[in-house]
Amino acid sequence: MKNYKTIILSNQEISPGYYRMRLLTPGFSETARPGQFLMMRVQQSLPPLLRRPFGIFRTGFLPADCEGMPPKEYTEILYKVVGRGTNIMADLHRGDKVEVLGPLGRGFDVGDPSEEKILVGGGIGLVPLYMLAESLASRCKVRLLMGGRTRDDILAVTEFERLGVETYVSTDDGSLGEEGLVTRVLERKLDKYPRSSVYACGPMPMLEAVYRICHRRQVPLQVSLEALMACGVGACLGCVVKGVGHTEESPRYLCSCKQGPVFRADQLDWSRLGEEPGYCEGCKS
């Protein structure tokens, strides 16, 4: 955990409205775990005032610039342009200065390697699943179900395939892969492989549907949630989500930047999770 004052190695549009940013981050990969995130300071001057949270897509090494130098360690994030901060990010270039605080939060529990795994990603929700697939693929069967509105929302699927992950794409309009919701594919896969455990990230309505399916079938589920964040380190308590047993009289809140962003489904109060704005309002699928 550290604040990296660093530079951008590359920043490219990979699909309309979606970007991949590569940052120089020496030492980051030793500590980064699947499902963790970072807080990005978009620019030195204000506004925007607060940092923005982004999932860690992957870490890796580039060859050294010249002989005798260590290889360059990098971290990649994938982001969707939705507002002020991400618009500024989209205009940044190689060599521009940024600050990232990370790696932060509790990531996925990779679980029993003898169990088959199904990963469900909705749009940009795919991001935290890559490092998870990377750490699982050599140990057990991993299937990725990737959903989006149109083909533009389907990202980085070939990178998962290169890890040996079986991938299934679905889009609402049928412009890529199967036509329909990713949850329909999930039902089918669970019919066929009922002993799988499920890991999901995406817009709230998708997560709720995934939860209902897994709950009915008693399949273990972990989800990565998005909440509004100010600090990212557990200090401000702005990012809480409702935990199981929550009532108005005796509220039970979980801190999503510290105790999450990944939660076991049975830690959360699903009846009330999606009822307030502020989480991703389906804006990113």
Partner 1 sequence: MDKQTMKSGRPNLTVDIGGLVLKNPVMPASGTFGYGEEYAPFLDLNCLGAVVTKGLSLRPKAGNPTPRIAETISGMLNAIGLQNVGVDDFIKFKLPFLREFTTPVIVNFFGNTLEEYGEVAARLSDIPEVTAVELNISCPNVKKGGIVFGTDPKAAHEAVSTVRKQLNKHLMVKLTPNVTDITVIARAVEEAGADSISCINTITGMAVDIKTRRPRLANRTGGLSGPAIRPVALRMVHQVVQAVKIPVIGVGGIVRPMDALEFLIVGARAVQVGTANFVDPASMITIIEGIEQFLLEEGLTDINQLIGSLEL
Ligand X SMILES: Cc1cc2nc3c(=O)[nH]c(=O)nc-3n(C[C@H](O)[C@H](O)[C@H](O)COP(=O)(O)OP(=O)(O)OC[C@H]3O[C@@H](n4cnc5c(N)ncnc54)[C@H](O)[C@@H]3O)c2cc1C
Instruction: State the residues that interact with partner 1 by CB under 8 A.
Output: 1-3, 41, 46-51, 99, 101, 227-242, 250-253, 258, 276-278
Site string for ligand FES, 240-269 (x = CB under 6 A): ---------------x-x------------
189 binds, among ligand X, ligand FES, partner 1, none (CB under 5 to 8 A by kind): none
State the nearest-atom distance from the C-beta of 165 to ligand FES, in Å: 31
Q: Residue 28: which of 64, 71, 75 has the closest Cα?
A: 75
State the nearest-atom distance from the C-beta of 5 to ligand FES, in Å: 21
d(CA 60, CA 1) in angstroms, rounded, equals 17
Run of H or E including 257: none
51 binds, among ligand FES, ligand X, partner 1, none (CB under 5 to 8 A by kind): partner 1
Q: Residue 225: which of 167, 274, 185, 168 has the closest Cα?
A: 274
104: contact with ligand FES by CB under 6 A:
no
Distances from the Cα of 234 to the Cα of 108, 180, 268, 274, 285, angstroms: 18, 38, 18, 22, 28
* Beta-strand relationship, 240-242 and 253-255: antiparallel
Bridge partners (DSSP) listed for residue 262: 224
276 binds, among ligand X, ligand FES, partner 1, none (CB under 5 to 8 A by kind): partner 1
Q: Using an 8 Å Cβ cutoff, are 168 and 120 in contact?
A: no
Q: What is the contact surface with ligand X in residues (CB under 6 A)? A: 37, 48, 52-55, 77-80, 82-86, 124, 127, 226-229, 261, 280, 283
Q: What is the contact surface with ligand FES in residues (CB under 6 A)? A: 229-232, 234-239, 255, 257
